[in-house]
A and B are shown apart, each in its own frame.
Chain A
Amino acid sequence: MKKNILVLLVIFVLIISVFTGCKQDPEPDPVSIEGRINQFVGDLNTASGRSGISKHFHSSHPFSNIDADVLIPLFPTLPDGSSYSVGSISSGDSTRTVVINRTSLASIGRTFIMLAAGNNWYILNITVAP
Chain B
Amino acid sequence: MKKNIIFILIFTIFASTLYAQSIARVAFVDGWVDVRTAAGVVDEALIGDDLSAGSSIITGRDGYAELLERPSGSTFRVSPNTVFAIREREVNGRNESVLAVAVGEVAFKVNRVAGSGTLVATNSTVAGVRGTEFVVFSGSDGTTLIAVAEGLVEVEAYGRSVELYADEAVEVRPGSPPGPKIQLLGRALDFSQWNESRRQEFLNDPVAALRAVDRRLDYYNEKIQELQPQFLEMTERVLQMWAELDRIYLEQGQDAATQYDRTVLGPASINAVHIGLNVRYYALSALSMRRFVVGNMYAEMKSRYITRLNDPVFIEFRNLYNEVLRKFEEITISRINATDI
Q: A residues within 8 Å of B by Cβ?
A: 3, 6-7, 10-11, 13-14, 17-18, 21-23, 26, 28, 31, 39, 51-52, 54-55, 59-63, 65-67, 69-74, 76, 105-110, 117-120, 126-130
**Top 3 A-B pairs, shortest CB-CB distance:** A118-B117, A128-B266, A70-B276
A14, A31, A108 pick with most chain B CB within 10 angstroms: A108
Instruction: Give Cα A76 to B235, complex, Å.
Output: 10
Specify the main secondary structure of chain A where it touches its partner. Answer: mixed
Give the distance to chain A from B302, nearest Cβ to Cβ, in Å. Answer: 32
Contact A7 B5 (CB under 8 A): yes
Contact B13 A128 (CB under 8 A): no
CB-defined contacts of B239 to chain A, threshold 8 Å: 72-73, 76
Contact A3 B116 (CB under 8 A): no
Given known A-B contacts A31-B92, A39-B92, A59 and B242 have beta carbons under 8 A apart:
no
Given known A-B contacts A52-B339, A106-B257, A21 and B21 have beta carbons under 8 A apart:
yes
- Counting chain B residues whose Cβ lies within 8 A of the other chain, the interface size class is 35 or more
Instruction: Give Cα A79 to B160, complex, Å.
Output: 38
Instruction: Give Cα A27 to B227, complex, Å.
Output: 42
CB-defined contacts of A17 to chain B, threshold 8 Å: 13, 16-17
CB-defined contacts of B269 to chain A, threshold 8 Å: 73-74
Contact B128 A117 (CB under 8 A): yes
CB-defined contacts of A60 to chain B, threshold 8 Å: 156, 159, 161
Contact A55 B6 (CB under 8 A): no
Interface check B31, CB cutoff 8 A: no
Contact of A55 among B17, B92, B161, B337 (CB under 8 A): B92
Instruction: Give Cα A63 to B159, complex, Å.
Output: 10
Contact B156 A28 (CB under 8 A): no
**Chain A proximity mask over B1-32: 1 for CB below 8 Å, otherwise 0:** 01001100110110011001100000000000
Q: Which of B262-287 contact A (CB under 8 A)?
A: 262, 265-270, 272-274, 276-281, 284
Q: Which of B18-56 contact A (CB under 8 A)?
A: 20-21
Query: 11 A-B residue contacts at CB 8 Å?
Result: A11-B9, A60-B156, A60-B159, A70-B279, A73-B276, A106-B257, A106-B258, A107-B254, A119-B117, A128-B262, A128-B270
